[in-house]
Amino acid sequence: MPLKNILKNEALNGTVTSDDILGKDVIDIDGGFIGVIEKIHLTSQVEVTGITIDRGFFKKGLYIGQGYIKRVTPYALFLNIKPSFLLKGLPVFDVQGSRIGIVSSVVLSEETNKLQSIIVRSQAKSATIKADLIESIGDGIFLNKKKQDLEAG
Amino acid sequence: MEQWSKEKNLLDNTINLREVIGVEVLSKRGISIGKVEQVRTNPDSLNAAGIIVRRGFFKKAVYFSVDYVDKFSLQGIILTIEPAFLLKGKKVVSADGKVLGKAAQVTRENNTNDLKTIIIKSLFRKPAEIPAEDIDHIGASIVLKEDYVATEKYTKK
């Protein structure tokens, strides 16, 4: 079939090409820049299943499933989540603002973004804190309990 | 110690303000702003009116009234806000993800934390002033509303 006939039958308005989006920024729901789009993954029926993000030197690439993509624009791709792996390295505070430690790793539910627990390192000790003890997440993580209650529990 | 007090002001329900000096002060999102240098009290009511926070070398101390304090304890102080000065240096992004520059200056309503404008700068463009009404979301970066027309306003001045 000649190319012009194919084009005539397809509604191209509102679509983007792979050239348009490869190399574009990936922005999470909090406005954080995660990296740039490196690959687009398709099924054999040409449906997008997700993207791979290049996060720069010395950082592992990241696959994000299509369900976590909010929208694509000519300049960037927006996610509808803040990837939980980004919590690594954040400071953790109790409900009163007392510093508990730093997130050394995160435990997710299978291959989703759902947080199960965080491992918090403080000096030589490390502790597992379940996700239901987290009050809020921003540039730090606030828990909903006092430090002494966590130690007792 | 003998006490003369009505129920709510019993000694056990109070804290020694001297012990608050040096306690860490955190923004709402968990950024460490500095340490308490002074606790100021209202001379009429004797209630705490606010705190002066020391931010380290080369940074001016700042005062937060108690209206902006969410949690106050000897372990830490958490504010109800993200102080406007923390926006400086954040990326400013249009609703479609175009990076317009970085917030270089922030103006606010009198002494409150209510934003009036942010001034953005980028390498090859003139500085631009963006009113607070055009801001959609402030998080890791500052995202503008969809109806903000970057190309028009950005070339003004």
- A95-127 pLDDT, tens digit per residue, is 999 999 999 999 998 888 899 999 999 888 889
Of B32, B75, B140, the CB nearest to A98: B75
List, as ranges, residues 48-77 from A with C-beta within 8 Å of B: 73-77
pLDDT digits (tens, 9 = 90+) for A44-57: 998 889 999 998 88
Tokens representing residue A45 in the block: 């029926």
Distance from B95 to chain A by nearest Cα, in Å? 9
Tokens representing residue A136 in the block: 């809020």
> What span, in angstroms and rounded, lies between the C-alpha atoms of B5 and A43?
74
pLDDT digits (tens, 9 = 90+) for A132-151: 999 999 999 999 999 888 87
ipTM score assigned to the predicted complex = 0.84
Residue-by-residue DSSP string for B84-145: GGGGTT-EEE-TTS-EEEEEEEEEESTTSS-EEEEEEEETTEEEEEEEGGGEEEESSSEEEP
pLDDT digits (tens, 9 = 90+) for B55-94: 988 899 999 999 999 999 899 999 999 999 999 999 999 9
Tokens representing residue B78 in the block: 């958490």
Quote the distance between the C-alpha of residue B148 and its chain's center. Answer: 25
Tokens representing residue B56 in the block: 């380290």
> What span, in angstroms and rounded, lies between the C-alpha atoms of A88 and A103?
5
Residue A18 is predicted with a pLDDT of 84
List, as ranges, residues 1-40 from A with C-beta within 8 Å of B: 24-25, 27-33
**What does pTM read for this prediction?**
0.85
Cβ neighbours of residue A57 closer than 8 Å, sequence gap 6 or more: none
